[in-house]
Structure 1
Amino acid sequence: MVEFTRRKLMATSAAAAIGIGATGAASARDGVDDPDTPGAPRIRGDIKRLATTAHGAEVTGPFVFETGEVLFSLQHPSRDNPAPYDTAAVGVLAGHQFTFNGKSDEFDELEAPRSTAAQGRVQVAGGEYDILVQEGDAINGGTERWGHPQTPDGTDIADFVGSRYGDVGYNPDMNFFVPTDDEGLEGYLFTNNETSPGGISRTPISRGEDGWEADRENAMELENRDSFRELGGTRINCYGDLSPWGTPLSAEEDYSHPRVSGPATVSDVVEAGSGVGVRGAAAFWNRPNPADVSGALSDLFDDAWSPQGSWALGGLEMQAYYLGAEPVDQAVGEDGETENTLDPIGEGYPNRYRYGHIVEIAEPASEEPTPVKHYVFGRAAFECPEVMPDERTVYLTSDGASKGFYKFVADEPIPSYDDRMDVRGTLYAARVTNDQAARNTPPAAVDLEIEWLELGTASNAEIESWIADYDGITQVDYLETHAETDWEADLETALAEADEEVAINGNRDYVTDAEIVEWAAQYEERGPDGVDEDLRRIPFLETRAAAKEIGASVEFRKAEGVDAHDEAEPGDFLYVGISELNDGMSDDEGDIRLERVDGGVVYRAELEAGYDISTLEPVVVGPDASDAESTLDSAPINVDNVMVLDDGRVLLCEDKGSFGRSYPNDALWVYEPPTSLHVDSVAVDHGGTAAVDLTLSSVPDGLAGGRVTVSVEHADVAAITDASYHDALELTAGPTIADDGSAVEFQFADLDDEIEPGAMDVTLASIELEGTGTGTTDITVDVRALDDDDGAAIEPQSRPGVVVTGPSPIGGGSSGRPPTDPDGDGLYEDVNGNGRLDYDDVVTLFDHMDDDSTTLAVDYYDFNENGRIDYDDITDLYDDL
């Protein structure tokens, strides 16, 4: 046996070459000073505390029934709390019901819990926390325990020793209810358990005269079904979504997916000739005892570091046992206790590319629900998805440091595919484009303007075939691929050699650094659809690394919540929660360089045509840790999950940990956004007319009357020719239209209270526009006065619209000329305006298919006649050549 002496290896350090150290900026939680940031805290609207959870627990998995009752998870409460609040659970806020009138007048704000007794339990404004089910409850006729995965032979994962990702069943998160009756009073509750292997519990619940009750006898752990094991099971199931077609979507929050730490790119590592200092957790996935890698690297290198996400390698070997791998690393020590050894696991070790996805539970009410992993959504530490009502567009947030913000758009509505594996579409990553976002300004003072970078297009089936190429890779391979020493002769030496090789040059068992760099080079040269066939897998298997390589803004820090209301339309809002705005969002590099707010920020984005978004505006800014205790007590901190109610209000769930409040508990807040007064966007033919509505988003306290002016910025593009009032407005003046058609003034009063308090989306007036030229112009709203039924001033946010006439030139066109219709069929095949159909028309439409001049003029470019602009329109136009 060759003796191996541990030594410090002076390898070239990528961290030194790139100029960064270990990941993760220090925060106020680490005891460093936190300067006072202007505009922190700040709330655009109103907020009230509805509940506080038991000490040590987050507020996770909010769900609101049709009855208006609220449910959430008691996630990882302190074991020192009095029973039953010392055990993870899911419960209903009994005694509270939302009335969905847009106003938080259903409850008096809950006082902060001051006593030890109050802090040790869940507190609810005007009610109680009625527990339905708890961690470890016997379920399914006593054959399973709630929240506990099992091996194929029925052994509870809790019976093994080794690293864990939290206690089994201790981290319930997502909750979504699928009703099985017309009244919505009975059905199945789907709950995620954030552990490894991951868990998804299905619990029958129903509401009777005494409230909601759970049927534990017929509950089941879905992950223990063969259909789940065939997919590799699930891992670290966090929050999720309920699809518009009624199926739960569970997000796998695989923090261990980063290839490189922080803002570093794979090309940085390749150029430096070493990954020492920046190699991420993913490189050590199939290492024996992978969660111990940080200590091993500290022994090997002077440039010691903790690979980003390495803590989330905990429980990975439990995943192998769950899949049926022989637990060869479980041995009985001299003290008679079972211990975890370094013996490598062979057959049955999990494939790393099978995790970090969104899992749909198809046929959720059937005897055996069917799991589908949507590989087309990419791989990340997904907190949750939000599927828009078009059933094609999906927004996805990834938790942790420097993780990015993603969007997927399916070619066709997802439920229209007979086989979910045929779902096909395009994956995008966000890039922040406005200079102001990188000028170290306070978050409250700057919107984030974003564009979407296309990563690639594929189907679930294609990606699954790529993933399958990496099945069968084991911990034995880690040693045999990367070490010269025979591991069976000297395991310790072989493991050290393999760790050294992987840290420097990467893990050759999986996608290599060179493949990612080559994909990016081809992407730059040929575009996302021009890369070699064998490289098309890169953005779907290594999503974060690919996004970094092409310049996406991966600085987004702990992007956790994302939601819009179930029937959202363009003009409504998508909310995005950034739990902590620090680290990569507040440093001195990248596209986002804001002043730090450890309390986090909730952004909202107005949904545009095609359910696109382009601007994130801060509406709830958390406090600084250095703020006064009274400020910290009354402001939302570290908002995690968000849920938009049908009336536009938003539930904000905290995961604040320790933050200097006078009480230690996390809270559930109800956010009431400000009223907005907006005018529609529209496309109109040159010489033609079209109507737009002037709409008030909500009137919680009714509407007495007001005076409002609507203006067109460029009357030579579109002019106002007529206007009329809502029928309910009996006392009106005008409307008064300017001689040049550039503005119209409305003055009105609701004398008979026809517009009731709590009304939503109130149309005040309709405006007729004529296309006087070709081009694009803004249409804006100016509020002179607006009062509610109590005489108080309504101060709405004014939101402009866009008018496109002509059609207007796309992307500048040919010398700025508008498109034309060469054959008179009503479709503008001459996209570039040069008078003929040519290949440049195809390219111009491809490059600008998401511009206002295109999306607001669907009738002009809908060549496949399906009612929207999509890639098939480009194909049809090309076929016309």
Structure 2
Amino acid sequence: MKKRKMMIPLLSLAVLFPSASNTFASPNQPLSIDKVEFVGMDAPDTVEERSKMYSEASAIVTYNNGTQKTFPLEYKTLFQPGDVINGKTAGAAYDANGNVITNEAGKPYVSTSPDSNTLLSVNGKSGKLYMVNHYEGMPSNTIGNMPKAMALNTVEQDKETGELTVTDVKPIDFSADGGIWTPCAGHLSPWNTHLGSEEYDPDAKAHEANPEKSSVTQFARNYYQDNTVIGNPYLYGHLPEVTVHPDGTSTAVKHYSMGRLSFENVVVAPDNRTVYYGDDGGYTMSFMYVADKAKDLSAGTLYAAKWKQTSEKNGGSADLEWIKLGHATDAEIKKLAQTVKFSDIFETTADAEYAKANGFKRVKAAGRDEWLKVKPGMEKAAAFLESRRYGALVGATSEFNKMETVEFNKADNKVYMTLSTIGGGMTANPTDPVDDIHVSKINAGGIYELSLASGQKDRDGDMIDSNYVATKMAGLVLGEDLPTKDAAGNTANPDKISNPDNITYSEKMRTLFIAEDGHGHHNNYGWAYNVDTKKLSRIVSAPDGGEVTGIQAIDNLNGFIYLMAGSQNPGYAGYLSGLPSLGKSSENNDDSDNTNKEDR
């Protein structure tokens, strides 16, 4: 089929709920939204429906005076990669000097993989609006491994309707850290900064074996526009943070002290210090970071979890034991990243008998089955530059599969964690070095709930300096594999989630929004899951072949409720879309501080 670029009409996924001045209000009882119930849509069943991003869902809004009103959801497109905004091309690749990278015809390389939308207000209600978004990958016909991008978009809001308009777009500068590597999901921090990600950290061992041919070197040569450069894998696989300033500029840093892994995203607890991670890929880990200071991720203590299984039912459940990997500052780990290589940190061998006799340990982390031994004095470098390898060496569980986004429910003191596919290391594997997790395979994946507590000790008996330590983990919302493919092409039950990826939670609506990225459903869907009623409602369908991505729920931004979302790599085109306004609130305070794959 010939590919064509589709223009998306205003096809419903977000709704403008009435403001406090609507006719239901009375002088003695200012109107506000009490609760929202989502009414799901049918799965797409025509070629037209399957080829576009659309919604036929609705929302029942109950107000504080008992009245109700039903609204059809409305999807509104902000822009698409390739659009020219204020003379700049959205989704373009940039080099280290901030110049657009072009092909021989002088045209920019443009991403088809938009991800992560963080809409935020600078200086409160009277301040300007900006949106940080990621471009996770570049088309496969580019020259080697092309630099990826984070962009800062200037956004204007209609104060009466809540409509959003993007008026400018510019790249965020990561030249101080060698560029940005595969930015995936992201999150708005409680202190109003953007916390991004660097997914699929490059293998430093493989790079050292053949640096001239490695993807890291390809990346560096494109980024610096210099074919003599040799890349450095230890600059990538960190947690980036972007601060947006009132003048429309931004400052970007990478937090080397938070470890190096395949960051999907992170979420911060209400103490502004405790952070939970999504570590994507096969044979990955669950990490927790406790910062030394609130709202400052430049120094802290890194922990990895040990899964101590209590049940195989409902996706499995376990008690969690935390193993301290170490304490570090960004400055000291960045210095190590710039000066050491893999062979400085580890001894390796392929001879099992020699390994057993000489103090090596067999581990399987990030899918790499190998014998390792940390060289004397290199424990800190191992912990923070090879976090999964080191974590496996000291006993943490490295068997999680396709761990995606994590999200926080403050009122219930819970963390939600997505496992896009429950399989791989999570099933029984008696030949693996360790077999902590052994649950039934669910290709459709699921979302787990982590329960938190204070007064917890790590494996060594030392107190963990946090009141938000995860102690238990259990399945919450699971997909269901079908025994055979159905007539519509689904291999997973179309009325349940399949291959969940990005999630975002609305405290006020008590709703977990779930975005799919997989092949279990004919099209990927977006869902609304009410944590109280347990009702699951399909609220959007992505174009055939594309994932639902970049979701962000905002309970109050200048009096409006927003849900952001988009789709990447659909069959016809890539979209970056905003879902303006799930409602006008009667509150005047700004709650924005309380407040998304190319590789499948």
TM-score by length of 2: 0.69
Structure 2 Cα separation of the partners of residues 592 and 159 of structure 1: 48
Structure 1 Cα separation of the partners of residues 415 and 259 of structure 2: 20
Structure 2 Cα separation of the partners of residues 82 and 326 of structure 1: 34
Aligned to 2:494: 633
8 Å CA contact 1:519, 1:535 repeated in 2: no
Offset, 1:207: 2.3
| Structure showing greater Rg | 1
Query: CA deviation digits over 1:783-825, x for unaligned, max 9?
Result: xxxxxxxxxxxxxxxxxxxxxxxxxxxxxxxxxxxxxxxxxxx
Offset, 1:148: 1.4
8 Å CA contact 1:92, 1:132 repeated in 2: no
- For residues 429-828 of structure 1, the aligned pairs below 5 Å read 429-434=304-309, 436=310, 441-444=312-315, 446-470=316-340, 508=343, 511-513=345-347, 533-565=377-409, 568=410, 571-589=412-430, 590-609=435-454, 610-626=467-483, 629=486, 632-647=493-508, 648-656=510-518, 658-659=519-520, 661=521, 664-674=522-532
Going from structure 1 to structure 2, the CA distance change for 1:286 and 1:79 (only over 3 Å counts) comes to farther
* AA matched with 2:115: D
Going from structure 1 to structure 2, the CA distance change for 1:150 and 1:638 (only over 3 Å counts) comes to same
8 Å CA contact 2:405, 2:503 repeated in 1: yes
Aligned to 1:229: 175
Structure 2 Cα separation of the partners of residues 615 and 81 of structure 1: 48
Structure 1 Cα separation of the partners of residues 226 and 12 of structure 2: 41
Query: CA deviation digits over 1:492-526, x for unaligned, max 9?
Result: xxxxxxxxxxxxxxx64x644359x99999xxxxx
Going from structure 1 to structure 2, the CA distance change for 1:241 and 1:282 (only over 3 Å counts) comes to farther
Structure 1 Cα separation of the partners of residues 307 and 162 of structure 2: 47
Structure 1 Cα separation of the partners of residues 80 and 481 of structure 2: 35
Offset, 1:91: 10
Structure 2 Cα separation of the partners of residues 572 and 219 of structure 1: 37
- For residues 274-289 of structure 1, the aligned pairs below 5 Å read 281=206, 286-288=211-213
Going from structure 1 to structure 2, the CA distance change for 1:460 and 1:389 (only over 3 Å counts) comes to same
Going from structure 1 to structure 2, the CA distance change for 1:154 and 1:541 (only over 3 Å counts) comes to closer
Aligned to 1:83: 6
Aligned to 2:288: 407
- For residues 53-202 of structure 1, the aligned pairs below 5 Å read 80=3, 83-84=6-7, 93-95=13-15, 104-105=36-37, 107-124=38-55, 125=57, 126-139=72-85, 141-142=86-87, 144-152=88-96, 156-159=100-103, 168-180=110-122, 182-183=124-125, 186-195=128-137, 196-202=146-152
- For residues 11-410 of structure 1, the aligned pairs below 5 Å read 80=3, 83-84=6-7, 93-95=13-15, 104-105=36-37, 107-124=38-55, 125=57, 126-139=72-85, 141-142=86-87, 144-152=88-96, 156-159=100-103, 168-180=110-122, 182-183=124-125, 186-195=128-137, 196-208=146-158, 209=160, 211-216=162-167, 218-222=168-172, 225=173, 228-257=174-203, 281=206, 286-288=211-213, 290=214, 313=215, 317-322=218-223, 324-327=224-227, 346-347=228-229, 349-410=230-291
Going from structure 1 to structure 2, the CA distance change for 1:101 and 1:458 (only over 3 Å counts) comes to same
Structure 1 Cα separation of the partners of residues 115 and 78 of structure 2: 14
Q: Identify, as 1 or 2, the structure richer in helix.
A: 1
Going from structure 1 to structure 2, the CA distance change for 1:546 and 1:191 (only over 3 Å counts) comes to same
* AA matched with 2:41: L
Offset, 1:449: 1.4
Offset, 1:359: 0.5
Structure 2 Cα separation of the partners of residues 469 and 98 of structure 1: 58
Going from structure 1 to structure 2, the CA distance change for 1:652 and 1:101 (only over 3 Å counts) comes to farther
8 Å CA contact 1:104, 1:672 repeated in 2: no
Going from structure 1 to structure 2, the CA distance change for 1:642 and 1:379 (only over 3 Å counts) comes to same
Structure 1 Cα separation of the partners of residues 78 and 11 of structure 2: 5
Going from structure 1 to structure 2, the CA distance change for 1:240 and 1:520 (only over 3 Å counts) comes to farther
8 Å CA contact 2:382, 2:390 repeated in 1: yes
Structure 1 Cα separation of the partners of residues 225 and 380 of structure 2: 31
Structure 1 Cα separation of the partners of residues 444 and 422 of structure 2: 7
TM-score by length of 1: 0.48
Offset, 1:532: 5.6
SS at match of 2:82: coil
8 Å CA contact 2:156, 2:164 repeated in 1: yes
Structure 2 Cα separation of the partners of residues 326 and 391 of structure 1: 41
Aligned residue pairs: how many? 455
Identity of paired residues, percent? 25
Structure 2 Cα separation of the partners of residues 674 and 284 of structure 1: 53
Offset, 1:665: 1.4
8 Å CA contact 1:148, 1:157 repeated in 2: yes
SS at match of 2:185: strand
* AA matched with 1:384: N
8 Å CA contact 2:95, 2:147 repeated in 1: no
8 Å CA contact 1:240, 1:250 repeated in 2: yes
Q: Taking CA–CA contacts closer than 8 Å with sequence separation of 6 or more, which of the two structures ends up with the larger relative contact order?
A: 2
* AA matched with 2:259: G
8 Å CA contact 1:258, 1:545 repeated in 2: no
Query: CA deviation digits over 1:751-810, x for unaligned, max 9?
Result: xxxxxxxxxxxxxxxxxxxxxxxxxxxxxxxxxxxxxxxxxxxxxxxxxxxxxxxxxxxx
Gaps of 5+ in 2: 20-31, 58-71, 138-145, 350-354, 362-373, 455-466, 535-600
Q: Identify, as 1 or 2, the structure richer in strand.
A: 2
Structure 1 Cα separation of the partners of residues 480 and 93 of structure 2: 39
Structure 2 Cα separation of the partners of residues 461 and 120 of structure 1: 48
* AA matched with 2:469: D
Offset, 1:159: 2.1
Structure 2 Cα separation of the partners of residues 533 and 458 of structure 1: 15
8 Å CA contact 2:204, 2:233 repeated in 1: no
Aligned to 2:300: 425
Gaps of 5+ in 1: 1-77, 162-166, 260-280, 291-312, 328-345, 474-506, 522-529, 677-881
Q: CA RMSD in A?
A: 3.4
* AA matched with 2:417: V
